[in-house]
Amino acid sequence: MEHRFIVVTEGIIMAYTNALAAYRETRIKTASQGQLIIMLYDEAVRQLDHSLELLTLNATGKKEPARIEQIGKAVIKTQEIISELMVSLDFEQGGDIARNLFSLYTWFNQELLEANIAQDLRRINNVRAMLSDLRSTWVEVIAKTASEGANRPAAGINIAG
């Protein structure tokens, strides 16, 4: 009886996992450019929150190699997301805003590289705060664009800035 319960439970977990993956995939495929940018920022902030949580645990005692590896993976994932934001910039349409964002993203990646090496909580926190501020700005821009576009035919968000 117990073995049957385990198999059923594993089946339910697999079905849930598959449904969740399908939902996420559909959500990404149907998202607007603006929504995709917000999703990238959300994930970057989430990854940095995870690394900060692990770093805080490390600061209380001995450093555990497994935890250091998890911190590194979270920071590197954030760097990959920032790189994705960099390649999405349109310098022709975005002009100075796109160039400034590119410089800021470059600085973020450099800070995160150095923070990862030194396990520097302060640097990670600074980048996290700035990413969160940029995310809030994008939310405002998208909302403003949506309200202005309500009376016009649908137009995309200029991800150049």
Residues 69 and 142 in one domain: yes
Residue 20 backbone dihedrals phi, psi, to 5 degrees: -65, -45
Q: Which domain holds residue 98?
A: 32-149
Quote the pTM value: 0.73
Instruction: With respect to residue 96, please indicate whether it lies within any of the assigned structural domains.
Output: yes
Residue 156 lies in a domain: no
User: What pLDDT tens digit does each residue of the chain (161 aa) get?
Assistant: 555 555 556 666 666 666 555 545 555 555 688 889 999 999 999 999 999 999 887 666 666 778 889 999 999 999 999 999 999 999 999 899 999 999 999 999 999 999 999 999 999 999 999 999 999 999 998 888 877 766 555 555 555 55
Which tokens is 89 given? 């910039």
Number of domains the chain is built from: 2
Specify whether 79 is located in the same domain as 128: yes
Secondary structure letter of residue 89 according to DSSP: -
Query: What region does 132 belong to: left with phi over 0, alpha with psi -120 to 50, or beta?
Result: alpha
Q: Are 48 and 78 in contact (CB under 8 A)?
A: yes
Are both 111 and 68 inside the same structural domain? yes
Q: Which amino acid is at 106?
A: T
Same domain membership, residue 122 and residue 99: yes
What is residue 120's DSSP assignment?
Answer: -
The C-alpha R_g of the chain, in whole angstroms, comes to 20
